[in-house]
Amino acid sequence: MPIYVKDNIFVLETERTQYVFGIDNSGLNRHLHWGAKCDPADFFIETFGDENSNHTMLDEYRQEYTVFGSTMYRECALKVRFPDGCRELDLQYDGFAQEGDTLEVQFSDRHYPLKVRLCYELTPGFDVFTRWVRLENTGDRPILLEKVCSAEFSLPSQKPYTFRNTNGAWGGEGIECVQTLTGGALVFESRRGISGHNQSPYFIAYQNADEASGDVYFAALAYSGNFKVSAARDLYSFTRIHVGLNDFDFSYTLQGGESFETPKVFCGLAKGFGDMSRQMHKFTVQNVLPQAFAEKPLPVLYNSWEATGFDVNAENQMRLAEKAAAAGVELFVMDDGWFGARNNDRAGLGDWFVNSEKFPNGLQALISHVNSLGMDFGIWVEPEMVNADSDLYRAHPDWTYHYDTRTPHELRNQRVLNLTRADVQAYLFELLDRLLTENNIRYIKWDMNRPFSETGADNLENPQMLWYLHTMAVYTLVDRLRARHPQVQFESCASGGGRSDLGALSHFDEVWPSDNTDAIDRMTLQKTYTLLRPVKTMRAWVTDVGGPNKPTSLEFRFNIAMQGALSLGGDLTKYSEADMEICRENVALYKEIRPLVQFGDLYRLADADEDEFLCTQYVNKSKTESVVFLAARGTRFYKKRVILRLAGLDPVRRYRLEFDGKMIEKSGAYLMEAGLAAHIRGADYNTVLRLFAV
Ligand code: DGJ
């Protein structure tokens, strides 16, 4: 995977695409191409002059990384304030360094001691590559960073692009919004301290694309805090996109001799949304996820939250564990309620000590019981938070973000701990380390249930750094705990999917994507989740949610949850023997198809929102096995036969499958081209087809 450098032009080649930029005679960085491969020798840098005094040539230039200043008025990627008050950047090109698949292009300010390095890394076998920026203050006086993006992108066509992002909410994280940018700007951002439930830290931009075809440009930011993705189309019809830390209430003091590295952006160009997802799934498993569990199948998990809420105790957890083990569960997780005075959400957060009334023999008795049933044990924590009614808050009221002159806004009766303080970090590390050292715990669900407010942090000389430093502190805590307890898996949760970005997935093994466990809503949410995030990281519970408004059978709920990392979350003590049999059968089936679901290639064949039914197919690497899930909440207008054209199979191989109660054998070509006529009917239709190469 070559990187060609000639005459200050940098040509980066991925498997099927090319990304090109260069430096012109005046030292400006200029974006040249992102698309199909051309002869690298053909690229050159055109220079053109001003059109008139109001629209300068800089308006028209596509830059690789735009800095604030001069006659450049559009959105910039970098803005700083030098110690003497100058807010203008003027970069000169200094050279580049290339090491294997990594390229660093170096600039420095013509007057001030600031170095700016644009970094790129290619990953063999992928059209996904990585970008980030490194800044260095080589002087001895502080430089204030006011905006620093991880990357700027220029899209090739001058026709408008359509953008897919989310306009979600708690319980509706994956609700998509699709809009075409003809002029002005689109902004997707978070200002809440976490990446959040609403908009997503990525862009997906295209013109005429669908699942299987069309150029799809995408980039996902690996950052779990306040982010900003802004796209603009200018008077020359160019679409440019900036991705990075949100400049909302942001600044960062770069002291003399210090460096700052932005979060990474994983970006690429794919043929259709399906290709984009498959590339990002593999790329993330191989290059982003913590490697300890990345290539291992995730266990079938049971979580107690929807069954017992805060009312956990040794007795009821043991009863649930026995039922979970009987269903074939491999990891039993006790959720909220096990510590301090945590009988409801009004007290106890921060006191990470076992509640001795609920667990008179400590956690040990429960864990031993769970282990004796053949399951691992996992537990819930919410380390970044404190209830005012807690021993921790009574001892350290100054450990939260606050202003002495302002009344703290509580959400869910809790306040956010100031994780930029070393003493808070030490307290949390010590308690969590002790919890993991003293108990045989194999999984942590790390929750975070409210956005920030009253963001005072008088421990910091520059309190506007807290947004960034908080996120880094979470990553560091998790990394330190992982280093001490490598046997423990970590799941990222923030009131559901409030922290489910690629930054979280650089430190956590899996994600709780939504508190909404309604199988019908999950048909939509799971599609959005897996656009850019691996299937295996998507925890999916079968619960008792549904109700008279949207009744679904237990089989239906399994069908949907088996399309991710299958988990159970219902009150199993209330399940009939027939329900338990359904659980046993489906968990056993899932264990057989798990390698396909968690590591196979995903094809979205039909969409619950557009096609009335959902059809997803997973194919293994060698194309010898595949599984197809079909589900519909009810079809309308007598429509019942749909031709299922499968995907991803070997056209010349023959496959056996049970279809409509009969064993049939067909070629991959037939299954993909002619297809199978499936009879989809009923209010609760669901089926799983398994294909085996003959
Ligand atoms: C929010 C999470 O999303 C739920 O799954 C559960 O863990 C609760 N918090 C517990 O308070």
Cα(537) to centroid of ligand 1, in Å? 17
Ligand 1 pocket test, pick from 312, 336, 384 with the greatest ligand atom count within 8 Å of Cβ, gives 336
Q: For residue range 294-330, list pLDDT tens digits in order.
A: 999 999 999 999 999 999 999 999 999 999 999 999 9
Instruction: Please check whether residue 110 is in contact with residue 90, taking contact to mean a CB–CB distance below 8 angstroms.
Output: yes
Q: 547: which 2 tokens?
A: 């109700």
Give the position, in ligand 1's atom list, of the atom nearest the Cα of 380.
7
Distances (CA, A) of 331 to 213, 221, 367, 444: 40, 31, 11, 11
User: Rounded to the nearest 5 degrees, what angle is found at the Cα of 358, between the Cα atoms of 352 and 363?
Assistant: 60
**Which residue's CA is minimally distant from atom 9 of ligand 1?**
495
Other beta carbons less than 10 A from residue 437's beta carbon? 10
Q: For residue range 521-568, list pLDDT tens digits in order.
A: 999 999 999 999 999 999 999 999 876 677 899 999 999 999 999 999
Instruction: Please check whether residue 656 is in contact with residue 624, taking contact to mean a CB–CB distance below 8 angstroms.
Output: no
Instruction: Report which of residues 547 and 167 the model is more confident about.
Output: 167
Cα(638) to centroid of ligand 1, in Å? 41
Q: 542: which 2 tokens?
A: 């079968």
**Which residue's CA is minimally distant from atom 10 of ligand 1?**
336
Whether 515 is catalytic: yes
Cα(504) to centroid of ligand 1, in Å? 17
Q: Which residue has the tokens 């260095």?
A: 136
Q: Which residue has the tokens 């970006």?
A: 267
Distances (CA, A) of 61 to 23, 32, 122, 339: 12, 10, 25, 59
**How many helices (DSSP H) and strands (DSSP E) are in the chain?**
14, 38
Q: For residue range 11-38, list pLDDT tens digits in order.
A: 999 999 999 999 999 899 999 999 999 9
Q: Please give the pLDDT value at position 36.
A: 98
Please say if the pLDDT value at position 1 is more than 70.
no
**Which residue's CA is minimally distant from atom 2 of ligand 1?**
495
pTM over 0.95: yes
Cα(335) to centroid of ligand 1, in Å? 7
Residues with CB under 6 A from ligand 1: 305, 335-336, 380, 447, 449, 493, 495-496, 512, 515
Cα(503) to centroid of ligand 1, in Å? 20
Catalytic option among 376, 447, 518, 601 = 447
Instruction: Return mean pLDDT, the chain.
Output: 96
Instruction: Report which of residues 57 and 594 the model is more confident about.
Output: 594
Closest by CA to 576, choosing from 541, 540, 544, is 544
CA–CA distance, 174 with 197 (Å, rounded to integer): 8
CA–CA distance, 86 with 107 (Å, rounded to integer): 18
Closest by CA to 531, choosing from 632, 597, 602, is 602
Ligand 1 pocket test, pick from 311, 512, 541, 568 with the greatest ligand atom count within 8 Å of Cβ, gives 512
Instruction: Please check whether residue 592 is in contact with residue 627, taking contact to mean a CB–CB distance below 8 angstroms.
Output: no
Q: Please give the pLDDT value at position 635.
A: 77
Q: Please give the pLDDT value at position 547.
A: 67
Whether 336 is catalytic: no
Ligand 1 pocket test, pick from 339, 384, 495 with the greatest ligand atom count within 8 Å of Cβ, gives 495
Percentage of residues of the chain with pLDDT beyond 70: 99
State the DSSP H helix or E strand holding residue 269, giving kind and residue range, or none if neither: strand 265-271
Q: Please give the pLDDT value at position 548.
A: 65
Q: For residue range 371-382, list pLDDT tens digits in order.
A: 999 999 999 999
Please say if the pLDDT value at position 421 is more than 90.
yes
Q: Please give the pLDDT value at position 683.
A: 81
Q: Please give the pLDDT value at position 50.
A: 79
The string of DSSP codes covering 412-465 is TTEEEB-TTSHHHHHHHHHHHHHHHHHS---EEEE-------S---TTSSSGGG
Amino acid letter, residue 577? E
Instruction: Please check whether residue 276 is in contact with residue 268, taking contact to mean a CB–CB distance below 8 angstroms.
Output: yes
Please say if the pLDDT value at position 53 is more than 90.
no
The string of DSSP codes covering 236-256 is T--EEEEEEE--TT--EEE-T
Give the position, in ligand 1's atom list, of the atom nearest the Cα of 493.
3
Other beta carbons less than 10 A from residue 195's beta carbon? 28
Q: For residue range 609-656, list pLDDT tens digits in order.
A: 999 899 999 999 999 999 999 999 887 776 678 999 999 999 999 999
Span 44-52, average pLDDT:
85
Give the position, in ligand 1's atom list, of the atom nearest the Cα of 445.
7
